[in-house]
Amino acid sequence: MSQTMRPGRYLLWLALAGVLLALDLWTKHLASQNLELFRPLVITPWLNLTLAHNEGAAFSLLADAGGWQRWFFTAIALIVSGVLLVWLKRLPNSARLLPVAIVMVLAGALGNMIDRIRQGYVVDFIDVHYQGWHWPAFNIADMVIVTGVILLLLEGFIPRRVSTT
């Protein structure tokens, strides 16, 4: 049985989460300072930067719920973050893909949680579109959460080597 992660390795993974979190918060700050709410800045024929304030969750779920959702989603992010921190700490030193996935989901959850606590909404600004159809605006935190979840799913499909000794 593998031992749990060494403290130095755990801190390195937390540092990666910190870098992703800082990148998310910095890009949200730049978007808030340089874009006008709901006024697109065209980057390519399929990409705009469009500042939006999302008071709900993914796809603006519960955005018009009256305000309680701010604290509900904050509580969920805190619980998920705690679980992810414990899970990360309990991983064996040899784990490679799983810690990357956990760190990505953790950083994204914290980035959006910080927005909710500070402002009551999440800053979104990436607007992907095609022939008049727009995907809901999103941010770096959303991108790292989705990528982390995909990696978690991939990790679940990768067969484990079983020791025959």
Is residue 158 within 8 A of residue 148, CB to CB? The reply is no
The span from the CA of 100 to the CA of 114, in Å, is 21
Is residue 113 within 8 A of residue 78, CB to CB? The reply is yes
Q: Examine the residue annotation and report whether 64 is marked as an active-site residue of this protein.
A: no
Q: Examine the residue annotation and report whether 24 is marked as an active-site residue of this protein.
A: no
Is residue 148 within 8 A of residue 101, CB to CB? The reply is yes
Is residue 122 within 8 A of residue 139, CB to CB? The reply is yes
Which position among 24, 115, 127, 142 bears the catalytic label? 142
The residues that are catalytic are 124, 142
